[in-house]
Amino acid sequence: MALKLFILGLPGSGKSTISRQIRTYLEGRNWESIRFSDHVILQKMFHADSEGKQFKSTEYGGFDVIDLEAINAALKSLELEVKEHSNSAKPKNLIVIEFSRNDYRRAFRQFSDAFLHDTYFLYLDVETDICKRRIQKRIANRSSEDDFYVSEYIFSTYYNEDDGRSIPQILENDHGVGKERVIVIDNNGSLSDSIAQVYQFVDTMCGLEPLRDS
């Protein structure tokens, strides 16, 4: 059965970058990985919202969510997509699931307990101002589909509070997920500052012997 890993954190915290690093790392260890992101689902919902009831356009081809029920619906769809893939996944396969929320207690309640119980969680703790600067930098130098815009409006009205540091307690108290399945990593600095912790967590999760140079 495939393993599941949630990578969580504010927009600009480095989720997609870490996900790509994990994929490369595992490829060298005869593992495969596939990534799911709720942004892809929300983008499809945005394009389908012709009347603008749940979303509004922003600069740089982005969008803002104005009906927060849409983000709950996106997580429910995300679980269905992951489950469908899991049914045919081979051993030594890691499913990486990315999303950002301001209220993870509420977000986790959108998933079934069975879906959460056998999952691992990695939260990237990054200051809001650093996230904003990273987003401006990636918009100015787009190199992948992950380089999407997140508006100041969303940061000020939605991401003004974030309970990410409490994720280990939330998962344990509300869903019975052991703290050994959860890690909070400071990713305010460069990738080289945090990647060793990420690899160590991946090794433990996958039952792999650590590489000397990881």
| pLDDT digits 0-9 by tens, 14-59 | 999 999 999 999 999 999 999 999 999 999 999 999 999 999 999 9
The reply to whether 117 falls in a domain is yes
User: pLDDT of 115-149, one tens digit each?
Assistant: 998 899 999 999 999 999 999 999 999 888 888 99
**Predicted pLDDT at 120:** 98
The reply to whether 63 falls in a domain is no
State the average pLDDT for the chain: 93
**Predicted pLDDT at 212:** 67
The reply to whether 134 falls in a domain is yes
In this model, does residue 210 exceed pLDDT 90? no
**CATH code of residue 19:** 3.40.50.300
Number of compact structural domains in the chain:
1
Q: Which two tokens stand for residue 50?
A: 């012709």
The reply to whether 213 falls in a domain is no
The reply to whether 199 falls in a domain is yes
Backbone angles phi, psi at 34, to 5 degrees: -140, 145
User: pLDDT of 51-104, one tens digit each?
Assistant: 999 999 999 999 999 998 999 999 999 999 999 998 888 889 999 999 999 999
In terms of residue numbers, what domain contains 15?
3-39+70-206
The reply to whether 90 falls in a domain is yes
The reply to whether 46 falls in a domain is no
Three-class DSSP category at 182: strand
| C-alpha angle 116-189-38 in degrees, rounded to nearest 5 | 35
The reply to whether 65 falls in a domain is no
Interval 194-210 mean pLDDT: 94
Q: Tell me how far apart the alpha carbons of residues 159 and 124 are, in angstroms, rounded to a whole number.
A: 14
**Predicted pLDDT at 48:** 97
Structural contact between residues 108 and 45, judged by C-beta atoms closer than 8 angstroms: no
Looking at residue 66, the DSSP 8-state letter turns out to be -
pLDDT-based confidence at residue 213 (cuts at 50, 70, 90): low
Strand partners, 97: 6, 36
Q: Tell me how far apart the alpha carbons of residues 116 and 99 are, in angstroms, rounded to a whole number.
A: 14
